[in-house]
Structure 1
């Protein structure tokens, strides 16, 4: 039985907000509806690991202030669970001595899971993976690798195949893929979070009905990704990102070798990217401050941009061309030059070539930067043999100069290649 319908999810969040506010004000949640309540302190690691494995429905585990050292922790197939710390600066779960490359915390098939008020750090794999669960709340959680490089785990905060997800007031650092990642899920909110020194600050992948707002993603390779990829269990869509501050995402891409250069890996994200929309449809990006991401502010690209064989992967769960993308009322700025890391990156070299080609075609541009918004120009016309100027309903409402380039990606690098800055077909009517 489905516990929540989508329209009930937001009513649930209102009630949840009141509960969290009470918790954050220092009120103890004794008698809060959890039948089993256990409390542990540093030194109780063996007991805690056993409590996680033997947990029964309606359990609340309190981890008092202090540093705990774990190999890993696992929770599975229970309902109504809360893991409560004393605060991210007080309760520290350290996985640096992990003997194998699994997750720090793995949560599987839990209906009603909350983790609140602690720091997770330095696991070999993902810091917390929440799989096939419902009513998931991750709040006041810091998920950190102290060294940010390809030895870090892929995802810091990682709900996947979930329903009704809230990630709030969290901080993610050092992930070799995405700091905050919501994948193949339905109904998700990411708000009031920060992500720093990851390959991607935040990624929404093959997830439907997601809202990402009031966040700050900075100092990453790329700030925010909305991806739909092939060969996954569901198609994404209906994603909104607004009131976010996405800035100074110019760092080297340090994705693991298995994803760097791989057709679909986050290794394709170019240093200096603010927002990248890849093969995702029904996306709205608005009222964001997207500045000093010094390659480009927003990219909209199809699966064909990175995989010529994308058509063969089409099915009910995957369509490679983004449709119904609306970009409006954002503050867009870039710096005076590409970040140095761009010239070492395969997608970055393409962006540099587009800028060079534009300025060579139009001498009036002189040394102007690559426009803020890049569209690969690959439309459903290649599948339908149509000729419409904007068959996929890309709609842009932005003011200013040097706003837009159609990269003419199908002819990229050929003698007929002509990227152009005519935004007229894509200006919202």
Structure 2
């Protein structure tokens, strides 16, 4: 009798879960006034649907390969584009003849794209511009080759508010695989990125959380930047429970960004995390392993542009401030990656390691310390003398943890004196 009761109760629970799940899916679809469905071979109809789409429309792209030059929509509300799975619905943009985007979304409020692969555009794969309430979920965004012929960004929301990027995969971008720029209220979670110049980049954006991701085999794993000349100042970024590992790939940024003052071409091969000219950053509980030039770099705008002070305004300040790094797992391999030796910033990192070991016999052949700070503080602007005026806070247990690289004097060998004294930067 007791067993029969338990079996009946179990069946009732399973049935209830099934019904709730079905009703949830049904109710989600019912929120769209119009539901359209297409299959491969109907590309012309899909293009027409994108041009004539009305508010509150969902588009289902059934399993198969679709070929487009580009797709775009603008000035809409409550739109969904869904496939039947990342390995099932594939949008191929390899026939695109010039730059731009594979998919361009502009000024849309309430936009979802999920359940598909987009691949091989000439320009960016998907750009979402001036939009809000964005969900990018279960999306593969890839190029088959990882070189300067690839588009700049795989997943690219810019000037947006309330952005969720979840369970996505980016590969082959000549700039950043997952890039969020000049946006507010951002979550990037459960994503992977490999063989990009930057795995993920949060640029001039506020209130971002980046967690439970894996960025590996890129030039640099994760970048938090503020750049001058943009419409918004960034800050308030948390990154935790991520795995940033083995980012030692060559830098293959396009000629337009490689070597320029602010281009991602400045990212040295072997960089785990780069924090540049931004503020209020917390980096904790991450695994940052086998990024063999620098586990974490903290730098100012002066590290890449001697005229950074002239660009200060309400949207840009070149000094990194209030940087809190704690309770991460940091490890580095035994040697620099080969691509670092032909990279302009990479060569500086090699020089720092050599200088430290030459000026301190006790170091013998130690690697460059895990955290590299360029040493450029607000003292350069205030003529002050404080050792740590900008709130750099480090709480890590590893040995060989820190170097103040003294970038202000790096071009004057007789004055250049990098040092490994972390005492002023330990969290109080």
TM range (shorter): over 0.9
Q: State the partner residue of 1:356.
A: 354
3-state SS of 1:175 partner:
coil
Asked if residue 138 in structure 1 is aligned to residue 130 in structure 2, the reply is: no
Return the match for 2:67 from 63, 66, 69.
69
Asked if residue 423 in structure 1 is aligned to residue 413 in structure 2, the reply is: no
Return the match for 1:104 from 96, 99, 102.
102
TM-superposed CA distance for 1:53, in Å, is 1.2
3-state SS of 1:428 partner:
coil
Return the match for 2:397 from 388, 399, 403.
399
Q: State the partner residue of 1:3.
A: none
| Alignment RMSD | 1.5
TM-superposed CA distance for 1:31, in Å, is 4.2
| 98-107 or 244-253, larger mean C-alpha shift | 98-107
3-state SS of 1:251 partner:
coil
Q: State the partner residue of 1:90.
A: 88
Q: Which stretches in structure 1 are left out of the alignment for 5+ residues?
A: 1-20
3-state SS of 1:124 partner:
coil
**Aligned positions of 1:273-292 closer than 5 A:** 273-292=271-290
TM-superposed CA distance for 1:32, in Å, is 2.7
Q: Which stretches in structure 2 are left out of the alignment for 5+ residues?
A: 1-19
- For residues 238 and 133 of structure 2, the distance between their equivalents in structure 1, rounded to whole angstroms, comes to 20
**Aligned positions of 1:105-184 closer than 5 A:** 105-184=103-182
Q: TM-score, normalised by structure 1?
A: 0.94
**Aligned positions of 1:19-418 closer than 5 A:** 27=25, 31-414=29-412, 415-418=414-417
TM-superposed CA distance for 1:52, in Å, is 0.8
- For residues 329 and 352 of structure 2, the distance between their equivalents in structure 1, rounded to whole angstroms, comes to 23
- For residues 223 and 83 of structure 1, the distance between their equivalents in structure 2, rounded to whole angstroms, comes to 29
TM-superposed CA distance for 1:413, in Å, is 3.4
- For residues 31 and 69 of structure 1, the distance between their equivalents in structure 2, rounded to whole angstroms, comes to 26
3-state SS of 2:356 partner:
helix
3-state SS of 1:350 partner:
helix
- For residues 269 and 21 of structure 2, the distance between their equivalents in structure 1, rounded to whole angstroms, comes to 41
8 A Cα contact 2:241 2:285, kept in partner: yes
Return the index of the structure with the highest Cα Rg.
2
- Number of residue pairs the alignment of both structures matches: 409
Give the direction of change, closer, same or farther, for the CA distance of 1:51–1:407 in structure 2 (3 Å limit): same
TM-superposed CA distance for 1:101, in Å, is 1.6
- For residues 384 and 365 of structure 1, the distance between their equivalents in structure 2, rounded to whole angstroms, comes to 34
Name segments (4+ residues, structure 1) moved above 2 Å.
25-32
